[in-house]
Structure 1
Amino acid sequence: MPRKLVDKATETAIVTADAHDPFTLLGLHRRGDGVLVIRVFDPRAEALTLLDAADDSPLVALAKVHPDGLFAAEVPGREAWFPYRLARTVGGETAVVEDPYRFPPWLGETDVYLIAEGTHQRPYERLGAHPTVYEGVPGVAFAVWAPNARRVSVVGDFNDWDGRVHMMRSRGGAGLWELFIPHLVAGALYKFEIRAADGSLLPLKFDPYGFYGEKRPANAAIVHGLTDFPWTDEGWIRAREAAAGGLDRPMSIYEVHLGSWARVPEDEHRFLSYDELGDRLVPYVRDLGFTHIELLPIHEHPFDGSWGYQPVGLYAPTSRFGDPSAFKRFIDRCHNAGIGVIIDWVPGHFPTDAHALGLFDGTHLYEHADPRKGRHMDWDTLIYNFGRIEVRNFLIANALYWIEQFHIDGLRVDAVASMLYLDYSRQDGEWIPNQHGGNENLEAIDFLKRLNELVYELGRGAMTIAEESTAWPMVSRPTYLGGLGFGYKWNMGWMHDTLEYFKKDPIHRRWHQNQLTFGLLYAFNENFILPLSHDEVVHGKGSLFGRMAGDRWQKFANLRAYYGFMWAHPGKQLLFMGGELGQEREWDEDQSLDWHLLEDPLNRGVKDLVGELNRLYVATPALYQQDFDPRGFEWIDGSDADNSVLSWIRWPRDGSAPIVCVANLTPQVLQGYRVGVPWPGAYHERLNTDDSRFGGSGVGNGPLVDSEPVEGHGRPHSLLLTLPPLATVWLQPVNP
């Protein structure tokens, strides 16, 4: 009796997609009796013939041994494995194709070892989906980490989303799965179908290393790969590298949500594309004089209302605005316009969407199993397991990916406080102390330190910024000194105090002068960025304009004075889009900024002021060279609370050309106000936020003010000034 071509166990494993290692079942194999047998599963095929790859001569027609599409045949006249192809007939048409199960492993042993060890610096070069030519055949190589899976398949529009067709090879103890699919090309849609250890099928999963995804609400990954790009910004990158962190360089950041900066109302209110943003946003930011753009998270995310802070595709720039190459073009244009690009980066948590990382292989693979460490209480999201080496490797490699592949200049790390504390937003009994009994998340701390070390070692001058809202010490100090290693930290305390001050009626401000001066007690403890960010214009807080005290004119005057105070304060500065317009309503991610406001001279005046602030700031070393050195700041008088006046000096590194700053935060013009100055001579009024050019009343001191040999604030020389209402004035010696 002739032996069956396929035994029942093999047949069942193939047609039910329950083969842990399909390469032992499919393809060309020597049977126990020494006979070569070919097995192929192809539900679309009407007929298959085995061909000798040397000359495509036919060897044997395969029999269909199962109605679902399992074909098999004994190979006559052959004793050893040989290269082969298949003649495949579909719809009456026959074509020569390759069998995925004839190819050897794609992942090299070194890659497998380093990925398993969690030390592969660029695992994204091997994991994910990569168009390639393998053994002379074009196709796509897929690889994914799912150590507890019973079976993993690549499914997509190329195989009718059928998990039986492209079951992946298991790489054993490393927990990796791989498959080279010949003939497949970039643009194909795909996901991973995973059977858990208990045999259950999981929801189809987005590729953790997917480089491109469908536009929501669809959520498949798109084969894209690491494509070459004709960058033209090498001069920019070299200059960034030479700046060695840029602490003594000007940095004025324009924070942007790409989906609502501007829309196209005549085309169904659609988003601008990356290329259109390059045409419009880049020159706009350049003309306003900002040195950097900071983008709210650009990672692929399913829900617009999360603003990108609940990402699914950490390696995929969102397809809302175009493909990855278009995003690279946008960055290249920024650099060629002299603008750096910072992205908000979210390594702290991820959403619970079924296609995301949660329970990726049926187990808590990327997240902690215990919800006391693995679930974020405020956002109902999952927290990465920072103690797992493969997860740390995934995240740190992602940081380097954005810097190396997209030439990103900086990562602003989101929600650092929620990572540092085990009891963050948790009540007693809802968190687990560390091994020392404390509330510090030691695994997250170690992760953040290593992240920063590698970014500053390998990032060619790229920087990291911490959004950290607590008093955790040394956030922006090197790890070798005991710090977390960030380059900068957002100064949330300064933001909160100063906004509270400017909300107050000027008649009450004399009692709250400390809200403007307290920040100088700790201003040099960290490398601070002063953030007027998106978080301050949402959730019922109103706009910056709306939070200012007074009538309409006074609100604008307060806002202008606030900006003048901010740009002259130690620290770099960040302003969320719309702040430069005097946007009057709260930010809405579903609407464009109110560009029509620029028809009003008061709104236009705010925009003109922001441009002037940036122009003067970049041209004035006193305002940026010593932001993080107490020698760069000196009070003249921070205690004149009765008049709500502050005066101070900003010093450059060489001690020349200081800036004298005076802020009158009452609506009264103060005549004959004496301010002690460092040197005698004439002083030029460099900036006056009450200038009529900016919508002010035009009160000022003329182009020059001569000092008098009259003691003021303990100094032998002073200026007798007219202080305009609700305004900040900058003065500089003409001949320092």
Structure 2
Amino acid sequence: MTKPKHIPAKPIDHASAEALHQGRHGDPFAVLGPHLVNGVRTVRAIDPGADRMWGVTEDGTAHELIRAGEGLSVFAGEVPGDGHYWLRGELHGTTWEVEDPYRFGPVIGEMDEYLLGEGTHQKIWRVLGAHVIAHESQNGTHFAVWAPNAERVSVVGGFNAWDGRRHPMRRRGSTGVWEIFIPNIGEGESYKYEILGAGGQRQPLKADPVGFGSEHAPQNASVVRHIDGYGWKDGKWMETRAAQNDRTAPISIYEVHLESWKRVVEEGNRSLSYREAAEELVDYAADMGFTHIELLPISEYPFDGSWGYQPVGLFAPTVRFGPPHEFRDLVEAAHNKGLGVLLDWVPGHFPTDAHGLGLFDGTHLYEHSDPREGFHQDWNTLIYNYGRTEVRNFLVSNALYWLDEYHVDGLRVDAVASMLYRDYSRDDGQWVPNKDGGRENYEAIDFLREVNKIAYGQHPGIMTVAEESTSFPQVSRPVDGGGLGFGFKWNMGWMNDTLRYIEKDPIYRSYDHHLMTFGLHYAFSENFILPISHDEVVHGKGSMLQKMPGNDWEKFANLRAYYGFMWGHPGKKLLFMGQEMAQRSEWRHDEQLPWGILDDPMHRGVQSFVRDLNTLYRAEPALHALDCDPEGFQWIESNDASASTYAWIRRSGGDAPEAVVICNFTPVERRYTLGMPQVGRWREAINSDADIYGGGGRGNLGGVDAVAEPLNGQPARAEVTLPPLSTLIFIKEAG
């Protein structure tokens, strides 16, 4: 318990009592709680709901506290002794007893205070936010929040009738942090912060920027969550995951919007919980041969239609699917099935919702004050001020939070291009140049380098991925070499070019033959992931099946051939949920996937094809080990535009057998003479036209024999049957 301070003889001055009663006192601990007056402990307390108050000592004696003035809610009086006491209140004959929060000393230590003040505390969630703890032998919750320009900050909730006068907080020197320990508050309690800005201007009630939980939308208060003591059982995965995330590993990612992957129709069409997903989603992704699950943002967000990309609670796993420990259940289950878990992470902007970060303490604290720097016109969101040390620290710490506390295996950073350029989606006069007059956002670039350097430094086995749609150099190159430091980058150029090609009627494909080959000019400039993401199947773009030309059979054949091209192409793989079964309709975030289509053998065939592509990709080093290195790729045929045919070699750089991939993007069966890198038998490892995939069953009866006759710059050749609209992958057999 805090030792009483020696103060002048007057129990409490009227001005302080009046300021407390009006909720405008900025230093409540200087007045409330225990103080020595003439050598006797005097207790001051505030309770707007009481007409009488007492301090009760351990022997049960009640010492009445006297109201500080007519109509004031502050009481003061002697409570002798130096032991434990508590407060008793009364209104119209009804009494209650509470611990006095103002008898407790600070919780935040000197080192934390120093690092917070400096803006270099990399694990702010261990200090800020709401923590269920025992403090000075009393159970309760410690609240701490950064609001440097506030005149007064209070915790409010149902426990104090949402009255900011009841629990004003202690300012911690020059750190800008406010804190208070409230006894007997615990798990599940809803709360917000009531903040008086400069001049006493009361702000909208704010959710906790570092809160670990939230109410269900549309309610938006933060919720106290005890996040300690999980007891992880994924040690085997954690010890080996560095190899699973390496650029030489097979990486095939299943991108998932958890809210719409599958629903429980019998229970009001609700989404699966984290624990249900830990069984159903994990089992499905593992069965399909994917190596990673990537979740669209699960940081708490108020609007379902944002799909999580406008988060308010960056430290709170959304309560839509359960509390934090249950999200850990999902991650642990994935790890124990050999699957990595990636999260979409949104440090580029945040929504303008009144309870969020905007004008948090009455000033532009997290965002730029100039809308030319601080407002996204496309999304009606606010942009973080990356040049402010504390803001950058907040975001770096948030990245580490998911890696530390939830064992996630990586972060895919959303909308990186919007962060890199000051003129992103802005006309002349709508943006502020950098100090050199250019468009690059130096502060955001420094932030991205910092977060990658620290994340990889503290968690060497993870991966970070940039969704970056421009040709910004060295996105996935080390920071010390001038790069941004990401592990991988989405290849948006490849995605756009190849989709433009495959959407064309085969009659016209010969005129755009280069769209399928152009990506190889820069395929190894970055560590690329080939993404067919959620962005390609929304906003009127149609599903992947709808994009395909031709009749129904041709649509399926085109799609299978395209997926075969993708899995045979250098680069890691990413497919959004539903595309593995050739969903007919465009994705809708408020409906589950159309699982019933798997009763149709054509849809089931595409699903089987994707499963077998993943299995082959993982099994054959030639198809993945040098995904990011030019030594792993060689064209055999890239110029046969008239036949819309492509062929190439994939190599592992070791002793593993080579692979040859050949694609026919016309609806015509061909007998094709193809140069081969080795003489001997080549197994037809996959054929997208196979019966089991819904194809016509045409092919090469299990393989082809290459003879020692040079062709296409190769030492051998083979006669290959190319089914219409197909991709074939051959693997060299031993001997």
User: Which TM-score band applies after superposition, normalised by the shorter structure?
Assistant: over 0.9
After TM superposition, give the deviation of residue 350 of structure 1 in Å: 0.1
Q: How does 1:221-232 map to 2 (within 5 A)?
A: 221-232=222-233
1:50: which partner in 2? 55
Q: How does 1:178-257 map to 2 (within 5 A)?
A: 178-241=179-242, 243=243, 245-257=245-257
2:138: which partner in 1? 137
Q: Relative to 1, partners in 2 of residues 1:723 and 1:34: Cα closer, same or farther, differing over 3 Å?
A: same
Looking at structure 2, the residues matched to 457 and 35 of structure 1 have their Cα atoms a distance apart, in angstroms, of: 55
Q: Which amino acid aligns with 2:109?
A: G
Q: Which amino acid aligns with 2:56?
A: L
1:502-540 CA-to-partner distances (Å, cap 9, x unmatched) read 011111111111000000000000000000000000011
1:63: which partner in 2? 66
Question: What is the DSSP-based 3-state SS (H/G/I as helix, E as strand, rest coil) of the residue aligned with 1:443?
Answer: helix
Looking at structure 1, the residues matched to 59 and 94 of structure 2 have their Cα atoms a distance apart, in angstroms, of: 17
Looking at structure 2, the residues matched to 595 and 56 of structure 1 have their Cα atoms a distance apart, in angstroms, of: 67
Does 1:12 find its partner at 2:11?
A: no
Looking at structure 2, the residues matched to 14 and 256 of structure 1 have their Cα atoms a distance apart, in angstroms, of: 50
Looking at structure 1, the residues matched to 441 and 732 of structure 2 have their Cα atoms a distance apart, in angstroms, of: 51
Q: Which amino acid aligns with 1:102?
A: R
After TM superposition, give the deviation of residue 262 of structure 1 in Å: 1.1
1:711: which partner in 2? 710
Q: Relative to 1, partners in 2 of residues 1:443 and 1:244: Cα closer, same or farther, differing over 3 Å?
A: farther
Q: Relative to 1, partners in 2 of residues 1:696 and 1:67: Cα closer, same or farther, differing over 3 Å?
A: farther
After TM superposition, give the deviation of residue 639 of structure 1 in Å: 0.6
Looking at structure 2, the residues matched to 63 and 300 of structure 1 have their Cα atoms a distance apart, in angstroms, of: 45
2:149: which partner in 1? 148
The answer to whether the Cα contact below 8 Å between 2:50 and 2:73 also exists between their aligned partners in 1 is no
1:38: which partner in 2? 43
After TM superposition, give the deviation of residue 647 of structure 1 in Å: 0.4
Looking at structure 2, the residues matched to 395 and 575 of structure 1 have their Cα atoms a distance apart, in angstroms, of: 28
Q: Which amino acid aligns with 1:436?
A: D
Question: What is the DSSP-based 3-state SS (H/G/I as helix, E as strand, rest coil) of the residue aligned with 2:638?
Answer: strand
1:275: which partner in 2? 275
2:698: which partner in 1? 699
Q: Which amino acid aligns with 1:74?
A: G
1:74: which partner in 2? 77
The answer to whether the Cα contact below 8 Å between 2:14 and 2:69 also exists between their aligned partners in 1 is no
Question: What is the DSSP-based 3-state SS (H/G/I as helix, E as strand, rest coil) of the residue aligned with 1:640?
Answer: coil
Q: Which amino acid aligns with 2:77?
A: E
Q: Taking every aligned residue pair, what percent have the same amino acid on both sides?
A: 54
1:687: which partner in 2? 686
Question: What is the DSSP-based 3-state SS (H/G/I as helix, E as strand, rest coil) of the residue aligned with 2:134?
Answer: strand
1:313-364 CA-to-partner distances (Å, cap 9, x unmatched) read 0000001111111100011001111110000000010000000000000000
The answer to whether the Cα contact below 8 Å between 2:387 and 2:444 also exists between their aligned partners in 1 is yes
Stretch of structure 1 that moved more, 522-531 or 256-265: 256-265
Does 1:349 find its partner at 2:349?
A: yes
Does 1:27 find its partner at 2:26?
A: no
The answer to whether the Cα contact below 8 Å between 2:43 and 2:79 also exists between their aligned partners in 1 is no
Q: How does 1:611-626 map to 2 (within 5 A)?
A: 611-626=611-626
Looking at structure 2, the residues matched to 246 and 278 of structure 1 have their Cα atoms a distance apart, in angstroms, of: 25
Looking at structure 1, the residues matched to 423 and 387 of structure 2 have their Cα atoms a distance apart, in angstroms, of: 17
After TM superposition, give the deviation of residue 226 of structure 1 in Å: 2.7
Q: Relative to 1, partners in 2 of residues 1:613 and 1:597: Cα closer, same or farther, differing over 3 Å?
A: same
The answer to whether the Cα contact below 8 Å between 1:37 and 1:72 also exists between their aligned partners in 2 is no
Q: Which amino acid aligns with 2:13?
A: D
After TM superposition, give the deviation of residue 389 of structure 1 in Å: 0.6
Query: Normalization by structure 1: what TM-score?
Result: 0.96
Looking at structure 2, the residues matched to 653 and 621 of structure 1 have their Cα atoms a distance apart, in angstroms, of: 9
The answer to whether the Cα contact below 8 Å between 1:60 and 1:73 also exists between their aligned partners in 2 is no
Q: Which amino acid aligns with 1:263?
A: R
Question: What is the DSSP-based 3-state SS (H/G/I as helix, E as strand, rest coil) of the residue aligned with 1:362?
Answer: coil
After TM superposition, give the deviation of residue 479 of structure 1 in Å: 0.5
Q: Which amino acid aligns with 1:419?
A: M
The answer to whether the Cα contact below 8 Å between 1:597 and 1:603 also exists between their aligned partners in 2 is yes
Looking at structure 1, the residues matched to 13 and 479 of structure 2 have their Cα atoms a distance apart, in angstroms, of: 61
The answer to whether the Cα contact below 8 Å between 2:12 and 2:31 also exists between their aligned partners in 1 is no
After TM superposition, give the deviation of residue 197 of structure 1 in Å: 1.0
After TM superposition, give the deviation of residue 56 of structure 1 in Å: 3.6
The answer to whether the Cα contact below 8 Å between 1:545 and 1:559 also exists between their aligned partners in 2 is yes
Q: Which amino acid aligns with 1:191?
A: K
The answer to whether the Cα contact below 8 Å between 1:262 and 1:272 also exists between their aligned partners in 2 is yes
2:4: which partner in 1? none
Looking at structure 2, the residues matched to 197 and 37 of structure 1 have their Cα atoms a distance apart, in angstroms, of: 32
After TM superposition, give the deviation of residue 43 of structure 1 in Å: 3.0
Question: What is the DSSP-based 3-state SS (H/G/I as helix, E as strand, rest coil) of the residue aligned with 1:639?
Answer: coil
1:245-269 CA-to-partner distances (Å, cap 9, x unmatched) read 5110110000000011111222221
1:5-50 CA-to-partner distances (Å, cap 9, x unmatched) read 543312211111101010112112245x666532111234464322
Q: Relative to 1, partners in 2 of residues 1:38 and 1:378: Cα closer, same or farther, differing over 3 Å?
A: same
Q: Which amino acid aligns with 1:722?
A: T
Q: Relative to 1, partners in 2 of residues 1:137 and 1:90: Cα closer, same or farther, differing over 3 Å?
A: farther
The answer to whether the Cα contact below 8 Å between 1:237 and 1:460 also exists between their aligned partners in 2 is no
Looking at structure 1, the residues matched to 516 and 604 of structure 2 have their Cα atoms a distance apart, in angstroms, of: 27
Question: What is the DSSP-based 3-state SS (H/G/I as helix, E as strand, rest coil) of the residue aligned with 2:561?
Answer: helix
The answer to whether the Cα contact below 8 Å between 1:299 and 1:312 also exists between their aligned partners in 2 is yes
Q: Which amino acid aligns with 2:129?
A: G
Stretch of structure 1 that moved more, 261-270 or 176-185: 261-270
Looking at structure 2, the residues matched to 68 and 440 of structure 1 have their Cα atoms a distance apart, in angstroms, of: 59
The answer to whether the Cα contact below 8 Å between 1:56 and 1:85 also exists between their aligned partners in 2 is no
Question: What is the DSSP-based 3-state SS (H/G/I as helix, E as strand, rest coil) of the residue aligned with 2:494?
Answer: helix
Q: Which amino acid aligns with 1:58?
A: T
Q: Relative to 1, partners in 2 of residues 1:257 and 1:91: Cα closer, same or farther, differing over 3 Å?
A: farther
Looking at structure 2, the residues matched to 76 and 178 of structure 1 have their Cα atoms a distance apart, in angstroms, of: 26
1:576-597 CA-to-partner distances (Å, cap 9, x unmatched) read 0010110011111011111111
After TM superposition, give the deviation of residue 460 of structure 1 in Å: 3.9
Looking at structure 1, the residues matched to 16 and 589 of structure 2 have their Cα atoms a distance apart, in angstroms, of: 54
Question: What is the DSSP-based 3-state SS (H/G/I as helix, E as strand, rest coil) of the residue aligned with 1:592?
Answer: coil
Question: What is the DSSP-based 3-state SS (H/G/I as helix, E as strand, rest coil) of the residue aligned with 2:149?
Answer: coil
2:5: which partner in 1? none
Q: Relative to 1, partners in 2 of residues 1:36 and 1:135: Cα closer, same or farther, differing over 3 Å?
A: closer
After TM superposition, give the deviation of residue 65 of structure 1 in Å: 4.0
The answer to whether the Cα contact below 8 Å between 1:532 and 1:575 also exists between their aligned partners in 2 is yes
Looking at structure 1, the residues matched to 326 and 69 of structure 2 have their Cα atoms a distance apart, in angstroms, of: 46
2:428: which partner in 1? 428
Gaps of 5+ in 1: none
1:274-314 CA-to-partner distances (Å, cap 9, x unmatched) read 11111211111110000000000001000000000000000
Question: What is the DSSP-based 3-state SS (H/G/I as helix, E as strand, rest coil) of the residue aligned with 2:472?
Answer: coil
2:637: which partner in 1? 637
1:734: which partner in 2? 733
Looking at structure 2, the residues matched to 302 and 66 of structure 1 have their Cα atoms a distance apart, in angstroms, of: 44
Q: Relative to 1, partners in 2 of residues 1:87 and 1:198: Cα closer, same or farther, differing over 3 Å?
A: closer
Q: Which amino acid aligns with 1:456?
A: Y
Q: How does 1:597-612 map to 2 (within 5 A)?
A: 597-612=597-612
Q: How does 1:445-460 map to 2 (within 5 A)?
A: 445-460=445-460
2:541: which partner in 1? 541
2:666: which partner in 1? 666
Looking at structure 1, the residues matched to 10 and 556 of structure 2 have their Cα atoms a distance apart, in angstroms, of: 86
Query: Normalization by structure 2: what TM-score?
Result: 0.96
Question: What is the DSSP-based 3-state SS (H/G/I as helix, E as strand, rest coil) of the residue aligned with 2:425?
Answer: coil
1:678: which partner in 2? 677
Q: Relative to 1, partners in 2 of residues 1:244 and 1:589: Cα closer, same or farther, differing over 3 Å?
A: closer
Looking at structure 2, the residues matched to 714 and 503 of structure 1 have their Cα atoms a distance apart, in angstroms, of: 31
Q: Which amino acid aligns with 2:315?
A: Y
Q: Which amino acid aligns with 1:50?
A: G
1:222-251 CA-to-partner distances (Å, cap 9, x unmatched) read 11133211211011011014x285110110
The answer to whether the Cα contact below 8 Å between 1:44 and 1:69 also exists between their aligned partners in 2 is no
Question: What is the DSSP-based 3-state SS (H/G/I as helix, E as strand, rest coil) of the residue aligned with 1:501?
Answer: helix
Question: What is the DSSP-based 3-state SS (H/G/I as helix, E as strand, rest coil) of the residue aligned with 2:199?
Answer: coil
Looking at structure 2, the residues matched to 239 and 659 of structure 1 have their Cα atoms a distance apart, in angstroms, of: 27
After TM superposition, give the deviation of residue 717 of structure 1 in Å: 1.4
Looking at structure 2, the residues matched to 529 and 12 of structure 1 have their Cα atoms a distance apart, in angstroms, of: 63
1:592: which partner in 2? 592
